[in-house]
Amino acid sequence: MARNKNGILGGFSGKVGSVVGYNSYGVDRMRGLPERIAPATVAEIKNRTKFKLVQDTLNCCKELIKIGFNNYWTKTGGMRGAVSYNKMFAVKEEEGAYSIDPEEFRFSGGTLPGLKEVRVEKEGKDLFRFYWDKEFVPDSSPQDQVMMLAIDLEGKQASYVAYGGFRSSGTDVLRLSVDLVGKVVEVYIGMIARDRSKQSDSQYLTMNIV
């Protein structure tokens, strides 16, 4: 990011696209970035591959991710925070191939207390019902709301609810989209504070529910 200290007509310092602005002996100057000739290193290729895998996976529920990672993991949170976290912790490598570890994957993170004694049951072909202990939890509110996610990590499709039932209700439902009916999905739940100031770490509930 570049800085412009003297208004719109002044010079700038920093990088804008492929142009770098700088000041030399009191004169504002610009130059283009040098074109890279060397091929990408093995480490760079691995990093790009992991980044693309995580970003492609998160894109199917990006509106939920923006809420679940708000102000968490990076200064800006949201998608950037979610990509950074999951790239570091949720990507596993096996025989040179990368995939998302369902148990390490998160769609939300933060300091809000999560839920206790959570379970999920399938009701019909397209409905999941979640249950949890609705007793008071310190540092929380009965009006905190659940966030629910069912995601096909292989097919990169998801169904979710960003603002679900209250903590005090003890139950809520998530309906699957037509595209997910009959698919292998992973199921998660998280909490968002009543005043939207913080979130909980998402909790992985089960796997291979079809």
Query: What are the pLDDT digits (tens) for 101-111?
Result: 999 999 999 99
Look at the chain and report how many structural domains it folds into. Answer: 1
> Which residue has 């960003």 as its token pair?
162
Q: Domain containing 77: what range?
A: 42-209
Q: What is the CATH number of the domain that holds 176?
A: 2.60.40.10
Judge whether 182 lies within some domain: yes
pLDDT at 199 over 60: yes
Instruction: Report the alpha-carbon distance of residue 11 to residue 70 in Å, rounded.
Output: 35
> Which residue has 């199917």 as its token pair?
60
At 153 the pLDDT is 95
Least Cα distance to 5 among 24, 21, 18, 20 occurs for 21
Q: What is the CA radius of gyration of the chain?
A: 22
Judge whether 14 lies within some domain: no
At 49 the pLDDT is 94
Instruction: Report the alpha-carbon distance of residue 189 to residue 11 in Å, rounded.
Output: 50
| Dihedral, 73, 144, 187, 84 alpha carbons, nearest 10 | -10
- Going by pLDDT thresholds of 50, 70 and 90, the confidence category of residue 40 is confident
At 208 the pLDDT is 44
Judge whether 7 lies within some domain: no
168 neighbors 194 (Cβ within 8 angstroms): no
Judge whether 192 lies within some domain: yes
- Going by pLDDT thresholds of 50, 70 and 90, the confidence category of residue 43 is confident
Judge whether 11 lies within some domain: no
pLDDT at 79 over 70: yes
Judge whether 34 lies within some domain: no
The overall average pLDDT reported for the chain is: 88
Other beta carbons within 10 angstroms of residue 54's beta carbon come to 23
- Going by pLDDT thresholds of 50, 70 and 90, the confidence category of residue 95 is confident
pLDDT at 163 over 90: yes
